[in-house]
Amino acid sequence: MKTKTRFAIFVAFFVAFSGPSGAAVADSFCRVRWVDDGDTVVLADGRRVRYTGINAPEVAHEDRPPERFGPKARDFNRKLVLKKNVRLEFDRKKYDQYGRVLAYLFLQDGTFVNAELVKGGYAYYVFRRPNTKYDSLLLRLQREAMAKRAGMWAGFPDQRRPFLGNRHSRRFHRMACPFGKGTSPKHRITFKTEYDAFWAGYSPCKRCNP
C-alpha cells in the first residue's frame, strides 16, 4: 500500500471518530438495559456508564439513606433513557477510577441527556478535568434551573455559613474539612452560602459533605 493511501485512511478514521476538540465520539447507538441512579446506567453490552460533567444526588445504599432528591433524579433518568438507544460521546478521559465509562449521552432525537438532567434540576454541574467540553453549557443550565427553583433547587436548604472553596478543583468544603484546609492560599475563596458556591460552579466535597 502506498504511503499516500495509508495516510488518507488514517485521516478518514481520525475524522470519523473524533469530535471538534479531538475527543473520541462513538457513532453507533447502544440500548440502555438498566438505570442505577440519576447519573449512571448499564448498557446492553454490559458497560456501566457514568455521565461526565454532572452529578445527581445519591439513592439509598446498604450503608446509607438516600440523599435529598436522589430517588426523583433516578426516576427522571429512567424516563429519559431506560430501554432506549443512546449515543455515547467521549471527552479526553474515557474511564473513571472504578472502571466506568465516562460519557455524554444523546438520544436518537438529539436530546442531550446530561444537559436535560441539569436543566430540570435533577443533577448539578461538576467541574472535572480534563472532561470540560460542555462545561459552559452545563453551568449556564444549572444557573437557569437555580433561578427557576426547578427540581432540587425548589426549597433548597441553603446553609448560611461560610464555606471554603478551592479555585483549582472547584470544590467547596466545610471550614473545618481537612481537605479544604489543605487548599493553598492562592486557590482559596470563601462563599457565604451553599447556594453561592453552586452558582459559581463549585460542587460539594464528597468527604465533608457540606
Q: Does the active-site annotation cover 58?
A: yes
The residue type at 140: R
Q: Does the active-site annotation cover 144?
A: no
From 50, 87, 170, 174, active-site residue? 50
> Residue 9 has which C-alpha cell?
485512511
Cα separation, 45 vs 12, in Å, equals: 27
Give residue 65's region: left, alpha or beta (phi > 0; psi -120 to 50). Answer: beta
From 74, 100, 170, 171, active-site residue? 100
Q: Does the active-site annotation cover 33?
A: no
Cα separation, 59 vs 13, in Å, equals: 41
| 131-138 long-range contacts, CB within 8 A, separation 24+ | 131/52, 131/53, 131/91, 131/92, 131/93, 131/102, 132/53, 132/91, 133/19, 133/21, 133/23, 133/53, 133/91, 133/104, 134/53, 134/104, 135/53, 135/201, 138/53, 138/54, 138/114
Cα separation, 50 vs 61, in Å, equals: 17
The residue type at 209: N
DSSP state of 170: T
Under 8 Å between Cβ of 124 and 117: no
From 58, 89, 116, 194, active-site residue? 58
Catalytic residues, by residue number, are: 50, 58, 100
